[in-house]
Structure 1
Amino acid sequence: MDDDELMTIGRFARLTGLSVGTLRHYDEVGLLSPASVDPATGYRRYRMAQAERARQIRMLRWDDLPIEEIRQVIDDQTGATTRQVLARHQRRLQRQQDLLTARIGDTIRFLQEGITMPKVLAGCRPIQLKIAVDDLDAAIAFYVKAFDFRYDVARRTQEADYSAFLFGTYGQDDFFLVHLIAGQERMDQPGTSTFGLLTEDIDTYHARAIDAGATEAVAPHDAEGMPRCSAIRDPSGNWIWLYQA
């Protein structure tokens, strides 16, 4: 067939692997318009030369690229826009994969342990602490090394995971979150903080914190009217009091 020869929409659909309904939709949104439209009957006709564009669109839609982004890729003359669009789509697909993996994990846990709902607690209790740090990765490593804190996903959205140090189970009396905040992008960015930790061996954890990069503020000592205690400053300057359990 000559590239300039017109063909019916049905034949073009069979040639490109796109349905007639899809071709009509692509015409309506201006993504793939027919070579001609009969003004009397409204019949659409296509040229062979349009088949390559149609197949490219089909491949990109198979990979779930949105129509507007397909338009940017198909009409890109330099390739620069294509690389940006596809790199952004790769990140989006990776995020979808991460969410799917998390949901599969939840389903497996439900199968093994059953579906348990957190109990409703009466009244109010503190469940969250936010700490300003200079270097997020370094701060995570410090608290894990010094105190065996568990850093895990506390919230999932379509765009990203948000992690924190998790304690206990959500909805239970032992639940608590410690968030590390780095940078100035958050409206509730705290300054340096002071908080306390209860430990079964204050001298050991005091030494571990120093070894992990903390500086000593108050050496372990016996205090009148309260448990044995000490204080250190983390690498970002936050004070951490340690109390003997």
Structure 2
Amino acid sequence: ARLLKHDQRIAQGIKSNIWISLTPGFLLVEALIYAGKDLGTAVVVALIFGGILFIAGVPMKDLALAGGAGGLVVGVLVLTHRNRLNRFFALLDPFSVEYYKGAGWQPAHSLMGLASGGLFGIGLGASRQKWGTLAEAHTDFIFSVIGEELGLLGTLSVLMLFAALILSIFKIALGASTSFEKYATAGIGCWISMQLTLNIGSVVGLIPVVGVTLPFMSYGGSSLLSVFIAAGFVIGVARRTPNIRESILHRRNIKQSKP
């Protein structure tokens, strides 16, 4: 019993150290991002940080308090900024006279594109919304164009591919050989899943437009480059995972043994 209590105290100390050591760096990154007036990316980074702490085993009570404080800060930043506040109210009815030609323009035309796609879509490359009506159709609102051109089945196929990717990343994280690889890979999984949720939530009108890209699909230099680097890191971790490494070696041996 003493050994068990001792181990529990050590584990609790490690969790506390993780919380204490990561928080200053996180706050610095958040401050720098917000200095660039990019609240959407700041929210994504905060969600990634929370996901890593959850995986590290930080008590839910601490996470709930931190999440509540973060939500309060975001609420204040929204209420004190007219454009962000208009985006929130436009979410309720983007087609209203008051918001349609302003903050409601993007969500309204995004919904029009998704609705016109129907079940099978109007055809690849045949989108009408992307030709000037829906701004940023190639970046933040590319999912709406996919829905318009490929329909509901196309969007569901994209979501299934993302789900398979995210589950694979977390599976690789569980089998990682070092703590760094485990937390870094899990963080990448949180990043992709959170950014995916915020982007698609904005496109379908569930949350206000936050201005984040759709991973692997939106056009953009830094965004696309960063997710490809992250994917390369995950692949490297996967190749060092014992089970996957044995499978690779086994396949190589089979190929070499063939005449």
Structure (1/2) with the larger helix percentage:
2
User: Which has the bigger relative contact order, CA under 8 A and spacing at least 6?
Assistant: 2
TM-score bucket (shorter structure): under 0.3
Asked which structure has the greater CA Rg, the reply is 1
What TM-score comes out, normalization by structure 1 length? 0.25
What TM-score comes out, normalization by structure 2 length? 0.24
Structure (1/2) with the larger strand percentage:
1
